[in-house]
Amino acid sequence: MKKNLATYLLLCAAFLFGACMEDGKEEFTISYYTALRSFKVDSVIVYSNTKLSDGSDTTLISYADGVDYPFVIDQKARTVYNPDSLPYGADPSKLTISVTSDGVAYLYNDSTNVYDLISSSDTLDFSSARRLLVAATGGLYAQEYTVSVNVHKLDPKKLQWEQLQLSPIEKPSRLIVHNGKMMLFGTDAQGTLLVCETEIGNRVEWSEPVEVSALPLAADVDAMLSYNGMLYATADGILFSSANGTEWNRQCDNVSVLLAASADDNRMWAVVDGNIAWSADGENFTAVEALPAGFPTRNVSANCYPLATNPFITRYLLIGYSSDDAVAPTMWGKLSTEEKWVQYEHLGDGSFDCPAIKPLNVMRYDGRLFAFGGAGTMAGSEVKAFEHLYISGDNGLTWQESAGIRVQLPQELAGSTAPFATAVDGNNRIWIVSGDTVPCWRGGINRLLF
């Protein structure tokens, strides 16, 4: 290689000297500088896969502006690279580049074993690292750089799932984030109420399930809340509390249903003596209004989050069923600045209503609401359990089936009727813990995990 490079430089010098002396009319200054000053890629072809309205797959072609992905030149290490990778689906084998240098820039051609003069009109292959040479116009000096074009290997918009070990509890019923841990509640084959936990991290290592103490088996574990460092659950009109999920204490009476809790608003909401009431300390409740007809008290999903336009105002949103035999879910909400709850009416002819599935699970994720769960109906059509993921981008007013191939539930769960529990952890990952030897899953949209 060194012998070839030396010969190449001498040929460059002879060529340049001849060009300088031609007709004696053109002056040419010979330079001995060999630094690469800038490197950029121009328009980048990006391929993406999607589904058409008829369900068939297709590939779309778009273009990214190379200016949005600047390259760094490390003069000491003689390396060139883009810290912000080109978008997922970008084709690095068909790039045009622009360079400026103190000298003449060439790119090594592995197929011919020679250096080719770089032209901004040529399409170049950067699927793997390439050698770039900057030769002084004097022909005696040269510097070689290694150019690497980085491309995202993961689709940033894809909901990526990983399979976890089987649930340590046979019939999970509640998965809840509490004091930085994932806590799982459920029963074994004998009906004993158990709890176990795992740290929120890359590895999932559940603790050995232990029996829950002093919480009646009739407790509404599905509606358990975590609020101000404590867990709360109701049983036969009595409110119980626990710091660790294992040992429970009687808190107060006449609390029939837990609804929602927000640390930002410093309030926990519940149904107390037939009224909707709130508490700041988990013990003393203030009634706001009589429980309205149609208010969700069964299979309730509570989501509390700050407004996008004002982070100091909390939105409460409840979606669930008003009774065990209710056919369709209802949705009620309020802002922390408002006193009473209001029902959100469905829009249109029902085509965009929340899916009427049981059990229904609604969670806020990526600034949207995700709904999935058991079997039921959506827009009048029957759906199987875990068959589809439904998304609302307007706080639950309208719902649509996720039609793209990027954001879907694990196909392995489709049709599963096993008991399950789900939650979103503090690392932007969705957990689905299933019982009856059905695989458990954890997933997240890639761009939220980078």
Residue-wise pLDDT tens digits, 406-423: 899 999 999 999 999 999
Give a yes or no: residue 230 inside a domain.
Answer: no
Give a yes or no: residue 375 inside a domain.
Answer: yes
> Does 172 share its domain with 118?
no
Residue-wise pLDDT tens digits, 343-399: 998 777 888 999 999 999 999 999 999 999 999 999 889 999 999 999 999 999 999
Residue-wise pLDDT tens digits, 230-252: 999 999 999 999 999 999 999 99
- The whole-number pLDDT of residue 281 equals 96
> Does 88 share its domain with 191?
no
> Does 44 share its domain with 161?
no
Domain end position, chosen among 123, 148, 173: 148
- The whole-number pLDDT of residue 19 equals 42
Residue-wise pLDDT tens digits, 266-297: 999 999 999 999 999 999 999 999 999 999 99
Domain CATH number, residue 67:
2.60.40
Residues spanned by the domain of 25: 2-148
> Does 102 share its domain with 183?
no
- The whole-number pLDDT of residue 32 equals 66
Give a yes or no: residue 253 inside a domain.
Answer: no
Question: Is the per-residue pLDDT at 27 higher than 90?
Answer: no
Which amino acid is residue 95, in one-letter code?
Answer: L
- With bands split at pLDDT 50, 70 and 90, how would you rate the model's confidence at 53? low
Domain end position, chosen among 96, 129, 148: 148
> Does 17 share its domain with 129?
yes
Domain end position, chosen among 148, 177, 192: 148
> Does 444 share its domain with 361?
yes
What's this model's pTM, rounded to 2 decimal places?
Answer: 0.82
- The whole-number pLDDT of residue 33 equals 79
> Does 127 share its domain with 26?
yes
> Does 139 share its domain with 164?
no
Split into its structural domains, the chain has a count of: 2
Give a yes or no: residue 131 inside a domain.
Answer: yes
Question: Is the per-residue pLDDT at 442 higher than 90?
Answer: yes
Give a yes or no: residue 216 inside a domain.
Answer: no
> Does 351 share its domain with 205?
yes
> Does 75 share its domain with 101?
yes
> Does 399 share its domain with 443?
yes
Residue-wise pLDDT tens digits, 146-205: 999 999 999 989 999 999 999 999 999 999 999 999 999 999 999 999 999 999 988 999
> Does 51 share its domain with 109?
yes
Give a yes or no: residue 368 inside a domain.
Answer: yes
Give a yes or no: residue 115 inside a domain.
Answer: yes
